[in-house]
Amino acid sequence: MQYAHSKRLIAAVAVAWVLVWAPGSRAAPAETESDSETSLDCVINPSVIADLGSGVPGILDRVLVDRADHVEAGQVVAELDSGVELASRDLARVRADKDTEIDLRRVNAAFGARQNERTRDLFERKVISTNDMDERKTEAQLASIQLRQAVDNKEIAQLELERAEQVLKRRTIKSPIAGVVMERFKTIGEYVDEQPVLRIAQLNPLHVEVFVPVERLGEIRPGMQAEVWSDAVKETHWLAKVSRVDLVADIASGTYGVRLVLPNPDYRVPAGLRCRLSFTGQDESPVAAVDTVAPPQAPAVAEEPIAEAADTAAAEDAVPETAALSLSAQSAVADDGVATESDAVDRQTPSTGGTAVAAADVADVDEKVCLRSGPYPSRTAARRVARDLEAFGLDVRVDAFDDQETKGYRVVSEWIADRGAVDAYIERLKQAGISDFFTAPGKPVPLRVNLGMYTEPASATRRVDELAARGITAYSVAWAQAVRRFVLTASGTPTPAITKHLADLPVPTAPGSCDQLAGR
């Protein structure tokens, strides 16, 4: 009896692992109160806006596109009047195609060579004078040179044809990018000099511009993903990837700029919208950085070990690897947090043997099981897993809790009590030749002067030592930021419908039991 009960629990854990690792949907839920607290205002812009003009002045002969038309890269969008250039091109082509001069010079050269041979024969027989011999020889050499000159003229004519074609091409305006016509400035018959004719916007990909508070400096990295939505487009969320992070902050606003790339192959996302975004904390690909360390492991909720922090370089559709499962002896969870668990099941090394046992006995599981998954970096990520669990008939609840995450190390001065002392300290820095410091404008005293921010403690320590060598006292302090984490609590009865997913999955074999989710 005890053995059958253990097998049913092993099967339940296997079911939970499959549900957690099932691919998440791209469609994001509506913005929640927690998401709105961490979201930022942003703007969706075209990735490229090009004002197309002409390299030469002239009269517009044709404009082949209008506003809102789609254009491809290299497509002809307008042409200037090019009657003179066409005539010059045709003339150059005729000259390049004609070989009459070469034929003439070739015949003359051949005749000169024959005449020179006859003259040499007569000269050897003492029939003609040396002067006559020299005259015939010179004429033969001139004929040969004239032949080479004709060949050179042929090459020059071909180059002139190529130049005429290039001049003609400059009368044609082509789009350098694929996109949409935003505006048409000129029409047929108007004179074009330095003014643009059309404005083209590249809408695939789009750029999402956002300004992030300097307090989050070092948190955003190239490759991270963010969820973007706009009130103008209801019930639609998009995933964008960070491509640029400004290294210089704006002193007046206390922010720095971040650019994200939003794929838009079908032009379904309109540009020019105000939007909001929330960083998911996931990286699409690892990004190398100077003085960068991996994010610390997320602490456990209360006394229950939930999961180890995993690699943040997960694919955009994959469930975060921080989502591991643990069985608990008690499933009642309060709405405002996660209940403390005293009976935590030790983690065990997964084995394919456990998979086989679970797959064979899932059909025998007929009692309720409780599982817990987390922590997740955002409610959106937690809801993705929750939807998969609910699709298998499990009752799921998402709970949030506050956590602290170390973001880096700041090198700061001691606390300074009044504004005069702050000015005096800054003057000491300048006299010591130190210019890389920062004070938040308008920040009330007491305050600390920021002398640097680093991701490694060793780098911060070196900075403190360098300042001490110049007579400046500074301190290295850890910078921890409050973050919100999310966990799932679910209960239900697994079914054989998911056994086909278990064949290649490692399954922990830790036994345990819990009651049905309270209140469901």
Percentage of the chain surpassing pLDDT 90? 27
Q: Is the pLDDT of residue 393 over 70?
A: no
Most confident of 23-27, 129-133, 357-361: 129-133
pLDDT at position 492 is 65
- Is the pLDDT reported for residue 419 higher than 90? no
The residues with which 304 forms a beta bridge, in sequence order, are 301
Would you state the pLDDT for residue 75? Answer: 94
- Mean pLDDT over 393-400 rounds to 78
Own/partner long-range contacts of 189-196 (Cβ < 8 Å, ≥24 apart): 189/59, 189/60, 190/59, 190/60, 191/57, 191/58, 191/59, 191/60, 192/53, 192/54, 192/57, 192/58, 192/59, 192/60, 192/80, 193/57, 194/53, 195/53, 196/51, 196/52, 196/53
Q: So what's the pLDDT on residue 98?
A: 86
Query: Model confidence over 207-222: pLDDT tens digits?
Result: 999 999 998 888 899 9
As a whole number, the mean pLDDT across the chain is 73
User: What pLDDT is stored for residue 442 in this prediction?
Assistant: 62
pLDDT, average across residues 388-415: 79
Q: What share of the chain is helix, strand, coil (3-state, %, to 5)?
A: 30, 30, 40
- Per-residue pLDDT band at 311 (split at 50, 70, 90): very low
Which residue shows structure tokens 């812009």? 45
Q: Which run of H or E residues covers position 489?
A: strand 475-492
pLDDT in the model for residue 493: 63
Q: For residue 37, what pLDDT is reported?
A: 52
Do the Cβ atoms of 182 and 200 come closer than 8 Å?
A: yes
Q: Look at residue 126 in the predicted model and tell me its pLDDT.
A: 85
**Cβ neighbours of residue 485 closer than 8 Å, sequence gap 6 or more:** 298, 301, 374, 375, 376, 377, 400, 401, 402, 403
Read off the pLDDT band of 172 (50, 70, 90).
very high
- For residue 405, what pLDDT is reported? 78
Q: What is the pLDDT of residue 441?
A: 61
Cβ(375)–Cβ(326) below 8 Å: no
How high is the pLDDT of residue 202?
A: 95
Report the distance separating Cα 179 and Cα 150, nearest Å: 49
Find the range with the poorest average confidence among 11-15, 280-284, 336-340: 336-340
> In the structure, what pLDDT confidence band is assigned to residue 409 with cuts at 50, 70 and 90?
confident
- Assign residue 475 a region: left if phi > 0, alpha if psi is -120 to 50, beta otherwise? beta
* Selected residue with higher pLDDT from 6 and 290: 6
* Direct distance between the N- and C-terminal alpha carbons of the chain, in angstroms, rounded to an integer: 28
pLDDT of residue 431: 86
**Please, which pLDDT band fits residue 354 given cuts at 50, 70 and 90?**
very low
pLDDT score at 296 = 40
State the pLDDT at residue 428.
Answer: 86
Confidence of residue 44 (pLDDT cuts 50, 70, 90): very high
Give 201's DSSP letter: E
Mean pLDDT to the nearest integer, 152-166: 91
pLDDT digit string, tens, across residues 237-277: 899 999 999 999 988 889 999 999 999 988 889 999 999 99
